[in-house]
Amino acid sequence: MGEVEQVPVWRLSEGDKKRVQDIVAREFPLTIILNNQELVTLLCTPSHLDYLAVGFLSSEGLLRSRDEIKKITVDEKTGVVRVDTSEEIKKADQLLFKRLITSGCGRGASFYSAADVMGQKKVESKTTLSSDEILELAREFQHRSQIFKTTGGVHSAALCDNEKILIFSEDIGRHNAIDKILGECLMQDVATNGRIILTSGRVSSEILIKAAKRNIAILVSKSAPTDMGVKLADELGITLIGFVRGKRMNVYANDWRVVDHG
Amino acid sequence: MGEVEQVPVWRLSEGDKKRVQDIVAREFPLTIILNNQELVTLLCTPSHLDYLAVGFLSSEGLLRSRDEIKKITVDEKTGVVRVDTSEEIKKADQLLFKRLITSGCGRGASFYSAADVMGQKKVESKTTLSSDEILELAREFQHRSQIFKTTGGVHSAALCDNEKILIFSEDIGRHNAIDKILGECLMQDVATNGRIILTSGRVSSEILIKAAKRNIAILVSKSAPTDMGVKLADELGITLIGFVRGKRMNVYANDWRVVDHG
């Protein structure tokens, strides 16, 4: 499936009107069915739908390891991913649905719940990195953001170690881009412990919760954090770096992981 | 309540490490209770919580006019808005909850449902405007975006006629910013028919559906639309203008409303 679409457009510029072809990001409704129960419909970029579904389920606490997955089927035509899991975690569905009904779901907020924060352990990783390494990763990240360059309409995310990008993804949703990465890690057995996530998007509370669940040590964004993002990063032991632009950056929490030997 | 928060931050720049104060956008969980039923928790900028709640309910089809509202109470301390409506529309709750459970809720997608699109009437407004008027509105819009300037972390939206901005709002969520405007229109009896919405954010399908519900004729964005945004604009009779930057813009759908007398 294409991730972008050509559309005819009128380009107006100082009295001039021209018919040109523009490229826009596709927006695809993906329904996730977990153990025969319809769970959610996400609007997403149609790529790596299996990773997105698995990443979403893992971020929501409904899936912990690859071993729990009995079967995944992706139907691109109908926009449905079916995930069947082992018996033990079926009960978890009930929990999610309860949350859906009692605390609802925030828009852009996933299934926001205070319980997500309260029950979350602190990230204990000893990982450190230098500001030069951060800038180098940010440069490579910028370089890889292909769909954004053509459409201006998507977010990117990446999993990195100190030297390089290990996994990269793009999606119209900033949450989806990160879930695609976390899903790929889970399905391909890529470790997330103590590693780094880069994101093009704003860093709000839910992003911190996703990261903490996978023991991510460092979050790096081109954009701004919210106050709650900063507070959670501090409490959850995650190093939060924002506004990486040119040769500058802001370190909002747990700056001890940024070590410059100069 | 403050819409921004000062946080101490380490600013790194070419080997230099300085402690400075940074300003970040606040992220506030707002729970909407409709007729004693907890409906949803939105993460938002804490301003105009009553407008946000009413706008959200109206966008979700749960509220149509000011007359239906019996009582609104905003509790800023607990982050709760209670809306009580007249008897007749209580049944609507059931519908929403059904949708929540069967088709789930998309993240950033509000309560996405195909039915929203199918049941939606075409916007028939004869409103036209010139590209100079669009550029002038975009300039004023840029000028008004105060929180963004200080934090880099929020979206703006505005309701306009051909000459000026009538209502302006800011929020960390692009949907919320538009819902705040629509809520204010509903509560203050400001007409939306045939008018213009400006947004700083990406134009995806849900934004078009919100606009069509209120008979908005023209949507103007600094950012990109998605393919579904373009398709819906075309089908719903809404003029969709994107990438308004400098003196240029792209008209993606229903360009007949952009009339230049030159």
| Greater model confidence, B22 or A99 | B22
Domain assignment of residue A170, yes or no: yes
Could you read off the pLDDT of B70-90 as tens digits, one per residue? 999 999 999 999 999 986 655
Domain assignment of residue A47, yes or no: yes
CA nearest to A198, candidates A248, A229, A244? A244
Does B160 have pLDDT greater than 50?
Answer: yes
Average pLDDT (A147-151) is 79
User: Does residue B234 share a domain with residue B160?
Assistant: yes
How many helices and strands (H and E) does chain B possess?
8, 12
Let me know the angle formed at the C-alpha of B155 by B152 and B161, rounded to the nearest 5 degrees.
130
Q: What is the CATH number of the domain that holds B213?
A: 3.40.140.10
Domain assignment of residue A126, yes or no: no
**Whether A185 is catalytic:** no
pLDDT at A262: 53
User: Does residue A155 share a domain with residue A109?
Assistant: no
Integer Cα distance of A16 and B131 in angstroms? 10
**The two three-digit tokens of residue B95, written as one number:** 């519908």
B114, B227, B247 member nearest A14 (Cβ) = B247
CB B28 within 8 A of CB B1: yes
Average pLDDT (B1-10) is 91
**The two three-digit tokens of residue B160, written as one number:** 């306009």
Please tell me the total count of domains within chain A.
2
Domain assignment of residue A11, yes or no: no
Regarding an ipTM greater than 0.90, the answer is no
Domain assignment of residue A220, yes or no: yes
Q: Which of B65, B87, B118 is the last residue of a domain?
A: B118
pLDDT at A84: 95
User: Does residue B189 share a domain with residue B239?
Assistant: yes
Could you read off the pLDDT of A119-130 as tens digits, one per residue? 788 999 999 999
To probe the interface with B, which of A4, A19, A27 has the most B CB atoms within 10 Å? A27
> Measured in whole angstroms, how far is the alpha carbon of residue B70 from the centre of its chain?
24
pLDDT at A89: 58
pLDDT at B232: 95
A12, A26, A105 member nearest B40 (Cβ) = A105
User: Does residue A54 share a domain with residue A168?
Assistant: no
pTM value is 0.90
CA nearest to B260, candidates A19, A8, A16? A16
User: Does residue B98 share a domain with residue B166?
Assistant: no
Does A105 have pLDDT greater than 80?
Answer: no
Could you read off the pLDDT of B104-147 as tens digits, one per residue? 333 333 444 444 566 788 999 999 999 999 999 999 999 998 77
pLDDT at B107: 37
User: Does residue A101 share a domain with residue A48?
Assistant: yes
Q: Which of B86, B118, B150 is the last residue of a domain?
A: B118
Point out which residues pair with B129 in neighbouring strands: B258
Average pLDDT (A103-119) is 45
User: Does residue A185 share a domain with residue A158?
Assistant: yes
User: Does residue B192 share a domain with residue B158?
Assistant: yes
What single letter denotes the amino acid at residue B216?
A: I
pLDDT at A93: 52
Roughly what angle, to the nearest 10 degrees, separates helices A205-213 and A227-236?
20
User: Does residue A206 share a domain with residue A108?
Assistant: no
Select the highest-mean-pLDDT range: A81-90, A214-223, B33-42.
A214-223
Considering only CB atoms, which chain B residues are within 8 Å of A228? 26-27, 43
What single letter denotes the amino acid at residue A75?
A: D
| Chain A closest-CA separation from residue B6 CA (Å) | 8
Q: Above pLDDT 90, what percent of chain B? A: 74
Q: Which of A97, A118, A139 is the last residue of a domain?
A: A118
User: Does residue B137 share a domain with residue B113?
Assistant: no
Does B193 have pLDDT greater than 80?
Answer: yes
User: Does residue A151 share a domain with residue A67?
Assistant: no
User: Does residue A245 share a domain with residue A172?
Assistant: yes
| Chain A closest-CA separation from residue B65 CA (Å) | 23
Q: Which domain holds residue A238?
A: 131-257
Torsion of CA B36, B40, B42, B47, to 10 degrees: -20
B9, B131, B176 member nearest A251 (Cβ) = B9
By residue count, chain A amounts to: 262
Domain assignment of residue A233, yes or no: yes
Domain assignment of residue B204, yes or no: yes
Please count the other Cβ atoms lying within 10 Å of the Cβ belonging to residue A31.
20
Phi, psi dihedral angles at A202 (to 5 degrees) = -60, 145
